[in-house]
Amino acid sequence: MDSLTLISSPVLTELDKFRDLFNRSLDSNNELLNSALAHIMKKNGKMMRPILVFLTARLLGSVNDEALHAAASLEFLHTASLVHDDIIDESTERRGQLSVNALFNNKVAVLVGDFLLATSLKHSGLTKNYHIIDVIATLGQELSDGEILQLANISNTGFSELVYFEVIRKKTAVLFAACTKAGALSVHASDEMVEKLRLFGEYIGICFQIKDDIFDYSESKEIGKPTGNDMKEGKLTLPALYVLNNKPDGRITTLATKVKNLDASEEEIAELVSFVKDAGGIEYAEAVMDQYKQKALDILLSFPDNEVRKSLQVYIDFVIARAK
């Protein structure tokens, strides 16, 4: 059995219901909107976030309509932010197919993202749980806040690891944290339990983003985006920040500054990538990721050993070990 099958096996029925709900929500009379939505739906992704909502709910109780609509709301919000991020990053590809902005144009992509955000709001209301609505609204604010922070940070001169963690918390970790928090809220868990599971999701999210940032140093074609892509967008992530702050060197600082100013050539980016690799940047980032993995595991292992806990353990391993 592969990891994804193992992870989703306790919530297969729920995932079927989710898929049905998700697809039914994306039907409109508007031809242009419909064709954009159909394009997005072609590649559904691995449903990592709905699975996390359902497994968290199952860890404490069962999956009810609150969890189902919370998962739909979160997935729509996530999908909307991907559509808008591709405009921001001027990406032409998403999950191995053309991005909405590339297939149509930026205008259509802005509006399709807005439609998805409104659909997210619709499902948040259908949870009929004000705590969940607040989680999703706050998440929406943090995701855009995080992206703006990243935009602003590109033009900053510093190489702060602190700012990096603030960005990945607001950009990625909050989404995973919202999934586990909503899962816990859907079964009306205690405040203490909700906070514990929120943190559990946050740690997984931090691992997820560090892994994503490490991918950018990989030469594999499998990951679906070219190596050094972040640097082409002016972004310096954990491996480079570590080296910049701990292995001071005039040449690398010059290169990193050029990257931040969107001034670096392909060759210079390749030089910086190989410098970071040689100076142990990847190993450092992996070690930090492992620390967060351990924190997530510590929380998970406080729950009774059962099929759901096992799935969540494989979930964490999968986030760390996935090939893309």
**Helix/strand/coil for 210:** helix
Phi, psi (rounded to 5 degrees) for 67: -65, -40
Residues in the chain: 324
> 181: closest CA among 199, 203, 166?
199
> 292: closest CA among 227, 232, 238, 241?
238
Residue given tokens 């620390």 in the structure block = 291
Q: Which of 70, 136, 168, 177 binds its own copies (CB under 8 A)?
A: 136
Closer residue to its own copies in complex, CB, 135/319: 135
Helix (H) / strand (E) element for 300: namely: helix 281-300
The CA-atom distances, in angstroms, between 268 and each of 41, 155, 257, 261, 274 are: 38, 18, 11, 13, 10
DSSP assignment letter at 170: I
DSSP assignment letter at 249: -
Phi, psi (rounded to 5 degrees) for 93: -130, 145
If binding is defined by CB under 8 A, does position 148 make contact with its own copies?
Answer: yes
If binding is defined by CB under 8 A, does position 163 make contact with its own copies?
Answer: no
If binding is defined by CB under 8 A, does position 130 make contact with its own copies?
Answer: yes
For residues 32 to 71, the per-residue mask of contacts with its own copies, x marking binding by CB under 8 A and - elsewhere, is xx--------------------------------------
Closer residue to its own copies in complex, CB, 123/198: 123
Q: What share of the chain is helix, strand, coil (3-state, %, to 5)?
A: 75, 0, 25
Q: Which of residues 76-105 bind its own copies (CB under 8 A)?
A: 80-81, 84, 87-88
If binding is defined by CB under 8 A, does position 273 make contact with its own copies?
Answer: no
DSSP assignment letter at 313: H
Using the contact rule CB under 8 A, the part of the chain among 26-34, 59-67, 263-271, 292-300 near its own copies is 26-34
Q: Which of 12, 38, 41, 118 binds its own copies (CB under 8 A)?
A: 118
Closer residue to its own copies in complex, CB, 141/302: 141
CB of 300 to its own copies, least distance (A): 30
CB of 115 to its own copies, least distance (A): 4
If binding is defined by CB under 8 A, does position 152 make contact with its own copies?
Answer: yes
Using the contact rule CB under 8 A, the part of the chain among 40-48, 118-126, 207-215, 240-248 near its own copies is 118-126
DSSP assignment letter at 94: E
Closer residue to its own copies in complex, CB, 166/268: 166
Give me the residues that bind its own copies (CB under 8 A), please: 28, 30-33, 80-81, 84, 87-88, 106-108, 110-115, 117-122, 124-125, 128, 130, 133-134, 136-141, 143-145, 147-149, 151-152
